[in-house]
Amino acid sequence: MALLEVKNLSISFGGLQAVDDFEISIKKGQLYGLIGPNGAGKTTVFNLLTGVYKPDEGMITLDGENITGLKTIEINKAGVARTFQNIRLFKNLSVMDNVKAGLHNHYKYSAATGILRLPKYFSMEKAMNEKAMELLKVFELEGEADYLAANLPYGKQRKLEIARALATEPKLLLLDEPAAGMNPNETMELMNTIRFVRDNFDMTILLIEHDMKLVSGICEELTVLNFGRILSKGPTSEVLNDPQVITAYLGE
């Protein structure tokens, strides 16, 4: 059964067709890649999937639930989390507090409980701290839990953003160019981390990426966008050897 089913998704801006008749089907537990040249419409697709934009046409179904046109917070609660091409952290908060921000969908107490510091406040804060530390350990960030997020090296900021997304306990994780700005060693480490997240969190992952080594190393299937339309889709090895893809995307 598909976790994510997208049919006939389209949107235009000022008469320009940014995404045209986009379709995708991603099974539970799959590691799926969305690639294409700059300006092909990849991030626009992510913005449609997460409610930043409302589609002109089409339907988005997550685990059998129609989430088309819902607000971003509603889509997140339904089970979709994402990271961004340009890292978006709460840079003036600690590493720990960034992850805890993602936990608030699942750990709630009243304003009075927080203000009066009632017993429930302390028990829930303890539970949130423990859960946040578990996630930080996955990304080897537990030693920097008290650091300001802004003071982390670039590669670790990328990891923290993924950890915060996982804190919302999503069914589907969208990664927008997670290897951007990373050196080869960091990219290799990221590949291992993404595999670990998929295998140990029972996660379904859709990623946008330009690093072909990462794409070919972890993605089971690919969809290639070009000028907002699907150019090719299927198993990774077949897509990367598609003459259309080689010409349009790899520039050969």
* SS3 letters across 186-198: HHHHHHHHHHHHH
Q: Is residue 49 part of a domain?
A: yes
Q: Is residue 59 part of a domain?
A: yes
pLDDT band at 119 (very low <50, low <70, confident <90, very high): low
- What percentage of the chain carries pLDDT values higher than 70? 90
Q: Is residue 17 part of a domain?
A: yes
**Do 174 and 237 share a structural domain?**
yes
Q: Is residue 186 part of a domain?
A: yes
Query: Mean per-residue pLDDT for 60-69?
Result: 96
Query: Mean per-residue pLDDT for 112-136?
Result: 71
Question: Mean pLDDT in the chain?
Answer: 89
**Do 175 and 237 share a structural domain?**
yes
Are the CB atoms for 167 and 131 separated by under 8 Å? yes
Q: CB-side exposure of 242: number of CA atoms within 13 Å?
A: 18
Q: Is residue 206 part of a domain?
A: yes
Residue tagged 């291992």 (tokens): 192
Are the CB atoms for 48 and 60 separated by under 8 Å? yes
Neighbouring residues of 39: CB distance < 8 A, sequence distance ≥ 6: none
Query: Mean per-residue pLDDT for 103-127?
Result: 61
- Burial-class residue 23 by CB neighbours within 10 Å (0-12, 13-18, 19+): middle
Domain, as residue range, for 133? 91-153
| 121 or 137, higher pLDDT | 137
Report the CATH number that the domain containing residue 234 is assigned in CATH. 3.40.50.300
pLDDT band at 108 (very low <50, low <70, confident <90, very high): low
**Do 174 and 143 share a structural domain?**
no
DSSP 8-state class, residue 206: E
**Do 144 and 104 share a structural domain?**
yes
In angstroms, the Cα distances linking 143 to 140, 152, 191, 192 are 7, 11, 22, 20
Say what the pLDDT of residue 112 is.
45
Q: Which of 123, 153, 183 is the last residue of a domain?
A: 153
pTM, two decimals, is 0.89
In angstroms, the CA 117 to CA 148 distance is 25
Say what the pLDDT of residue 107 is.
55
**Do 35 and 15 share a structural domain?**
yes
Specify whether the backbone of 230 is left (phi greater than 0), alpha (psi in -120 to 50) or beta.
beta
Count: domains in the chain: 2
Phi, psi of 8 (to 5 degrees): 55, 40
* Diameter of the chain measured on Cα atoms: 65
Neighbouring residues of 3: CB distance < 8 A, sequence distance ≥ 6: 26, 27, 28, 30, 62, 63, 171, 172, 204
Structure tokens at 191: 């590949």
| 252 or 24, higher pLDDT | 24
| 126 or 85, higher pLDDT | 85
In angstroms, the CA 19 to CA 40 distance is 8
Q: Is residue 165 part of a domain?
A: no
**Do 136 and 110 share a structural domain?**
yes
Please determine, for residue 80, whether its predicted confidence score (pLDDT) is greater than 90.
Answer: yes
In angstroms, the CA 229 to CA 95 distance is 39
pLDDT, tens only, 179-237: 888 888 888 888 999 999 999 999 999 999 988 888 899 999 999 999 999 999 999 99
Residue tagged 């670990």 (tokens): 196
For β-strands 65-66 and 57-62, DSSP reports them as antiparallel
Phi, psi of 227 (to 5 degrees): 55, 40
Phi, psi of 77 (to 5 degrees): -65, -30
pLDDT, tens only, 7-64: 999 999 998 999 999 999 999 999 999 998 888 999 999 999 999 999 999 999 999 9
**Do 67 and 6 share a structural domain?**
yes
In angstroms, the CA 29 to CA 171 distance is 9
Please determine, for residue 174, whether its predicted confidence score (pLDDT) is greater than 60.
Answer: yes
Please determine, for residue 252, whether its predicted confidence score (pLDDT) is greater than 50.
Answer: no
Q: Is residue 124 part of a domain?
A: yes
